[in-house]
Structure 1
């Protein structure tokens, strides 16, 4: 008979490290036209930057990052270039973490299949001896041996990509790209797929900066809910306000954590914004996000001998 499970020491779960809130934008036709043009233009820059970063593989360093940013600054702005290169870096890093997770999963699957293939047909599992059960029939054994071969081939390919620093990413998502070849199964026509593809590849995200007016110079939301976007240099002719800015007709009013957001922007602390389009419902949204400073957590223990604690 096994021993009893030990009760872990009480602890306090740390709070969330960040906050993200969203509001719908009641945009006009002019707003939609400008947002689409800006988003598609910046999206094309982001796609090119991702291609450059992917070709660099493991040779990437701070100097090449700065060079990519300088090349993007000329046709956009320094802040847009910074947001694009940071998003590219995060996407490449996420793909690398996905490769690492896939290698771990493949190795686990290979070990599991090999262990069951080594057992006789119909053999039962034994926890005491640490043995897994065998496959039920010869046909299943044969099918799993073929799967083992496919898993090993796949593992070799992923390990080669990992060693060279090569990733496979698609701006807009691999699932949506794959859906282009299966429109009938998904119940979509080409026009509807293209609307989703364009919306997914638009880039309208800007990181915040503490000390700047309302916490963000690129996408700015004032305390009265006015939303304006700093236009790229190539699209400066679309401006309807000073300093190359476009002020949207839509107003922003965050309902969830609105007071927390208002306190943050009025003290000019960094807030990141992302404007995105949902083509399925034909709605536009803006998402605000920011980080929270870690809060010191008091230890969960008795302050003195004999004091009350939850375990008593």
Structure 2
């Protein structure tokens, strides 16, 4: 494969009649022939390419490559240095007989005018062995090619590179969906953890920790034994009552202790050494209520009262 340069670059060998590409040392400059905005409308006159906006352009030159020539299209460095970048570049296959197109992006800080006839691409040609006719790539008619480009501008490409509105909407939906999914995962994990805590609490309760052998069955068995003991006591109660009835009262009531008289002092004892008889306590009777009585008079020589 040989790169063609200088005198080997005859436009008539590579382009249809009527095309007038600008010749460089080893390449041709391709110029703007048609401009289509983001709505697919063909723009007549200068088109202002705003910052971060894109536009579709087709070449004014129409290729007519033989079977032994391949073209290599690339961007213009002079245009790139101004902030205008051709996004789609590549190979022009042998046998291609139509225009080429690209998407221009303004990634500079300034608006940039684009007009018909402005250089926007460059193409180099390589000579090689002929390609068989059935392998040659043929282009659609120029009208069909431009119509396809117009439709792509209206339906495929946005007004701006990396459509900010759609990106923002998509980012918002994605963020909300991600948060919902994460939230669902966290809720599930928390519920699972709570269930584990409940199970551990049930198995690690104080009663279980104190004695792992205590079970519900043991508790029920103890309750049954306690009930049986209570019933046995009720059955023994009448027998105890019968035993109490058969025993004498003296066995039930403690015997009285004899009363010991207090000791009498020596000076109070009688001549025979015995203690004087105790003075029986007198029972005082309450005075009876009587009527007025006559005063008593004493009689000399007598000791009575008048009759």
TM normalised by structure 1 equals 0.21
Larger strand percent: 2
Indicate the structure (1 or 2) with the bigger Cα radius of gyration.
2
- Flag the structure with higher helix content: 1
